[in-house]
Every structure is written in C-alpha cells, then in structure tokens.
C-alpha cells in the first residue's frame, strides 16, 4: 500500500484553503508580512505539491506599510473556483482590509484587488444554487455580497459560533447533499486548536452542531502533530473526501517549541449519518487512491535545492519582508548573481533588504557564496525583527550575531577567507538541553572548504512559543550597508 508523510507542505504554510478543478487541486496559504503574498500550490494527487506562483505578486496588489508589525499582513485566504474563474478572498491586517481577486489561471496573473467592507478576518466565499455569493467570516457571521463590485447585499448575520471555545474563526460553507455545512476552527491556534462543524438547510441557518464536535483536535495529547485546525474540505475525483488543515510538529521539553511554523497536513474524511468523521491524521499514513509509487513520499517541490540566479526573475518561493524594492533587489546588475542594495542598516527594525526561503525541514543546511567587498550583509535565519540569528560578512571579516528579544550578542570576528561561503545548519540531534533544535552559524572557504562554526545556539528562541506571532522561520540573504552580491544559494534537508 502506498503511504505518504505528513505534512504534505512542510514549513511555514498556514491556513490552507483548497479547491479541485477537474483532475487538478489548487491550494493557497497565508503569508502574513512577507511579499509576494499568498503562495499558491498545485497537485494532481493531494500528496505531492508544487508552488506555481503567488496570488499577490505586484506592489499595486499588496502594499504593506513599512512599519507593519510582525505577523500582520495577509491572513487566511479562501480559494474557490466558480463560473470558470478562480476566486480568492483574504484580509490584509494592518493594510487594505478584506480584498477579493480573481484569475482564469491560478498561476496568474490575478486581478487588482476589490475591497470588501466586512468587520473581521478569515473570509470565505460560497455560492448557492441561485448563484448568490455568501461571505462568511470570523465571528461567525455571513452576508450575501456582490463579489465583482465588492458590495454587501445585506447586513451580516451571526449564524453559529462553535461549541463555546475561544476564537471561532476560519469558517467555510459547503453545500453537500441538500445541506449547508459550516466548518470552523475554535480554541485558538495554539495547543487547544480544534475543528467543529454544524449544518443547516440554508446559508443563514439555523445550524445544528455535530454531536461529535470537535471533529478534529489533538489537544491534551502527546500526539506528534499539534495545534490542528483551520481545515478545508475537498472532494477527490474518485468521490472520496479529504481535509487539508494546519498543524505543527513541536519538539523539546514542555511546553515544546515549533520553529517551522504551521504546516499543511492531509487527513481522510468519511461520512457517517450525515456528518464528516476526520482521520486518521498521522505523520505517515495510507495515501489517497490512485497515488502509486509514493512510498512515504513528502510533498515534492523545487523550492528546496540550489539556485544560481541565472533566471531573469526570482522564482516564486523567494520572499522578502513587507516589500521588495525593484532597485534594491537586482538580478540584472551582475550576471549570475543576486545583488542587494541596502536600505535599512539592521535586521532589528523594518526596512532591511532581505530575500529568503521558508525553512521546510527540521534538519536543514543553507549556504551562500557572498561578495561583500562593497557592503555588509550575510545569511540569516529569521522569525521576526526581535528574533533572528545571522552569519555576516563585513569589511573583510566574518562574524556571527544573535538577537533575542531586547538582547543582542556578537561573536568574535574572523578574517574572511578568499572565497567566503556563509552557512547555517539546523539540527535536531544533538541539541542543547531541553531545546527543540540547534542552530549552528559558520562559514567555509569555498563550497568544498571545511566548515568553521562560529556559534551554536538554542533554536527555541526562534519559535512561536517564545517570540509569539503566527509565522515560521525564513532563511535568507540580506544587506545592511552598501551593495552585497550573492553568487548562489543552496537550501536542502
């Protein structure tokens, strides 16, 4: 029997929303303060996913304020296909508010946003049998809308707010076998997270809750997958049902810590007495029907591996913090190099120029060949402005630095080798006492040179449990003075 490994999209990819069009599945996730916004993924089997673009990839679509707080920005998109088009609704917290965009091709281009004036986050779109569009949002309330004009066609009405746990959010409405099902998350997005469901005969209800609520939660267990919630249902082409949801893989002693962020997990769904039953949800489990030759496969995506910067534009998995100024991030200035021109002088405040990738695996290694003869910059592993580690080239020297809350420490400077390659290793064994992982900062003389470690740090300080917020780690290149060029970047398990 073919099996697969959860998560199907590892690394910082929260709040998944999925739809099927024919034999193809498409999935969108939150991006928070990173640009471009809303990564979009494609799969033919629900197990192997490839990122095909970003929905909000133009500054006119996503203008995040320069001082936007960490974990602000793009929250909880819903992706749907209706009347021959893809529709996506999301909320830009601290920015434009709730917006709707559409596309004929999910890889883009997507339209400029249409603003929708609703008083909450986590919007959902669903169409009834008369073609009327309903927007349901955290709270939980629903209202008919004109999605083209961005107009409310009534007053939002509270319909059902879960079983009484905190933060009823992430609602999705579905019309299935004559019933309207309202799926939502509650209990907070931490260890108490849960998925519950209710049903009614119309989008306005009244809704009766499932007697088995919550239909999914790993709270108060020692299960290796925790924080399970924010689910979305999809019917596979063979008629089977599945749920994509977020979860985390915490490590270390209590309360345990996760640095990769909330990831995308996949679980089967069966129906009993008109209600969905979710599970099992394990790190390794039987694959969906028709998935052959995938024995214990992970989501396969080219965003792991080597990039020599020979393409005319950055591939879709590269992200920057809040914005990516065209004049500060250049691929055309020095052939085969990513050239960064500093705008901010430190990673401790908004404004620094950074280009990075999400950390996707608990054990990983990142390397880059750097030329900092005309500036200062390096390689960082970042959670936010107050929690990041980096190895840096500055004035012919290599140093390591850590920022943890209000504290900052710098390690002794070493003369830079002739061919500096900066390196960050994350490992889960061995680790400092009680820590989830260890982060080792260092450098090499050339790609084949011996690794010279400068510092080994506790990974818990780059975790949500310490730093708070909603994001995961990003590993990338930055410049904080002058001009810094990077010949290649390599990130792999």
% of the chain at pLDDT higher than 90: 94
User: Quick one: which of 271, 289, 236, 476 has its CA closest to 364?
Assistant: 476
Provide the pLDDT for residue 298: 43
Confidence category of residue 489, pLDDT binned at 50, 70, 90:
very high
Catalytic residue list contains 332:
no
Per-position DSSP letters for 316-337, written without gaps between them: TT-BEES---TTTEESSSSTT-
Query: What one-character-per-residue DSSP string does 105-137 give?
Result: STTSPPPPPEEE--SSS--EEEE-TTS-EEEEE
Give the torsion sign (CA, 57, 61, 67, 72): negative
Q: What is the pLDDT of the chain when averaged over all its residues?
A: 96
Task: Write out pLDDT tens, residues 340-365.
Answer: 999 999 999 999 999 999 999 999 99
Using pLDDT thresholds of 50, 70 and 90, give the confidence band for residue 292. Answer: low
Distance CA 322, CA 245 (A): 26
Instruction: Give the separation between CA 321 and CA 292, rounded to whole angstroms.
Output: 39
Buried b (16+ CB within 10 A) or exposed e, 167-181: bbbbbbbbeeeebbb
Q: How buried is residue 107: exposed, middle or buried, by Cβ count under 10 Å (0-12/13-18/19+)? A: middle
User: What mean pLDDT do residues 405-425 have?
Assistant: 96
Token reading at 385: 């402005």
The pLDDT tens digits for 184-242 are 999 999 999 999 999 999 999 999 999 999 999 999 999 999 999 999 999 999 999 99
222 contact partners, CB below 8 Å, separation of at least 6: none
Check residue 73 and report its DSSP letter.
E
Catalytic choice (45, 169, 301, 371) = 169
**Could you say which of 15, 263, 385, 390 is catalytic?**
15
Predicted confidence band of residue 302 (pLDDT cuts 50, 70, 90): low
Active site residue 169: yes
Task: Work out the pLDDT band at 295, boundaries 50, 70, 90.
Answer: very low
- Band (pLDDT 50/70/90 cuts) for residue 22 is very high
Q: What is the pLDDT of residues 152-189, one digit of tens each?
A: 999 999 999 999 999 999 999 999 999 999 999 999 99
- Per-residue pLDDT, 303: 66
| 3-state SS assignment for residue 450 | coil
- pLDDT recorded at residue 451: 97
> Cα–Cα distance between 448 and 78 in angstroms, integer?
45
Q: Which of 330, 325, 313 is CA-nearest to residue 350?
A: 325
pLDDT tens digits for 320-334?
A: 999 999 899 999 999
Show Cβ contacts of residue 86 under 8 Å, excluding neighbours closer than 6 positions: 19, 26, 79, 80, 102, 103, 104, 105, 106
pLDDT confidence bin for 432, thresholds 50/70/90 = confident
CA distance 464 to 136: 28
Q: Is the pTM of this model over 0.95?
A: yes
**Each residue of 117-139: pLDDT tens digit?**
999 999 999 999 999 999 999 99
Domains of the chain plus CATH, in order, are 3-286 (2.115.10.20), 305-492 (2.60.120.200)
Predicted local distance difference test score (pLDDT) of residue 1 = 80
pLDDT reading at 297 higher than 50: no
Could you tell me which of 108, 484, 488, 16 has the C-alpha nearest to residue 316?
108
């Amino acid at each position: 029997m073919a099996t697969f490994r959860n998560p199907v999209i590892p690394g910082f990819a929260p709040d998944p929303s999925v739809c099927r069009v024919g034999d193809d599945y498409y999935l969108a996730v939150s991006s928070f303060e990173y640009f471009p916004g809303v990564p979009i993924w494609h799969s033919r089997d629900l197990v192997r996913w490839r990122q095909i673009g970003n929905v909000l990839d133009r500054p006119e679509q996503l203008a995040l304020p320069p001082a936007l707080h960490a974990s602000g920005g793009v929250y909880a998109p819903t992706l749907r296909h209706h009347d021959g088009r893809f529709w996506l609704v999301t909320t830009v917290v601290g920015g434009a508010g709730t917006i709707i965009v559409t596309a004929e091709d999910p890889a883009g281009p997507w339209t400029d946003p249409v603003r929708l004036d609703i008083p909450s986050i986590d919007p959902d779109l669903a169409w009834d049998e008369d073609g009327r569009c309903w927007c349901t949002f955290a709270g939980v309330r629903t209202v008919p809308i004109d999605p083209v004009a961005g107009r409310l066609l009534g007053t939002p009405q509270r319909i059902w707010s879960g079983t009484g746990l905190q933060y009823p959010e992430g609602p999705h409405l579905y019309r299935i076998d004559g019933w309207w099902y309202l799926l939502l998350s509650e209990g907070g997005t931490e260890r108490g997270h849960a998925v519950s469901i209710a049903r009614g005969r119309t989008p306005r209800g009244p809704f009766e809750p499932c007697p088995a609520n919550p239909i999914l939660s790993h709270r108060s267990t020692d299960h290796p997958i925790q924080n399970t919630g924010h689910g979305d249902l999809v019917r596979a082409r063979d008629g089977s049902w599945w749920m994509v949801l977020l979860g985390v893989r915490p490590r270390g002693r209590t309360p345990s810590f996760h640095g990769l962020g909330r990831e995308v997990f996949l679980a089967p769904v069966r129906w009993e007495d008109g209600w969905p039953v979710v599970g099992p949800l394990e790190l390794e489990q039987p694959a969906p029907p028709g998935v052959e030759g995938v024995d214990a496969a992970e989501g396969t995506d080219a965003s792991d591996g080597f990039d020599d910067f020979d393409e005319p534009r950055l591939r879709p998995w590269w992200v920057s913090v809040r914005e990516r100024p065209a004049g500060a991030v250049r691929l055309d200035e020095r052939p085969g190099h990513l050239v960064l021109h500093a705008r901010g002088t430190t990673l401790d405040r908004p404004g620094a120029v950074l280009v990075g990738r999400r950390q996707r695996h608990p054990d990983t290694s990142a390397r880059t060949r750097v030329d900092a003869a005309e500036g200062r910059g390096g390689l960082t592993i970042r959670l936010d402005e107050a929690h990041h580690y980096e190895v840096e080239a500055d004035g012919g020297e290599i140093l390591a630095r850590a920022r943890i809350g209000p504290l900052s420490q710098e390690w002794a400077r070493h003369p830079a080798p002739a061919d500096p390659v900066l390196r960050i290793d994350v490992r889960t064994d061995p680790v400092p006492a009680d820590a989830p992982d260890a982060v080792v900062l260092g450098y090499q003389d050339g790609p084949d040179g011996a690794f010279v470690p400068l510092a080994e740090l506790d990974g818990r300080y780059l975790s949500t449990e310490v730093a708070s917020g909603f994001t995961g780690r990003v590993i990338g290149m930055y410049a904080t003075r002058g001009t810094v060029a990077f010949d290649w970047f390599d990130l792999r398990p």
